[in-house]
Amino acid sequence: MMADDLKNRGPKDRARVNTSEAWELKYWTKEFGVTEDQLKAAVKAVGPMVTDVRKKLGK
């Protein structure tokens, strides 16, 4: 799979939250129902693992 396959809009790694890609940031903010700032703060606090971020955000 090519990393820049634009047809695949889901995260490349669904176990991790990547806040450095704009479209992934948009995906995860929609997924968790939070703002970009809330998402970035959660990732900074607990790391990029989706389970940890979900727990931190109370989702």
> Residue 3 domain-assigned?
no
> Residue 10 domain-assigned?
no
> Residue 43 domain-assigned?
yes
> Residue 12 domain-assigned?
no
Q: What is the residue range of 36's domain?
A: 22-57
pLDDT of res. 14: 80
Q: State how many domains the chain has.
A: 1
- pTM metric for this prediction: 0.77
Which residues touch 17 (CB under 8 Å, ≥6 apart)?
Answer: 11, 24, 28, 39, 43, 48, 49, 50, 53
> Residue 11 domain-assigned?
no
pLDDT of res. 1: 44
Q: Give 1-59 pLDDT, tens digit per residue.
A: 445 545 555 666 789 999 999 999 999 999 999 999 999 999 999 999 999 999 999 98
> Residue 15 domain-assigned?
no
> Residue 52 domain-assigned?
yes
> Residue 1 domain-assigned?
no
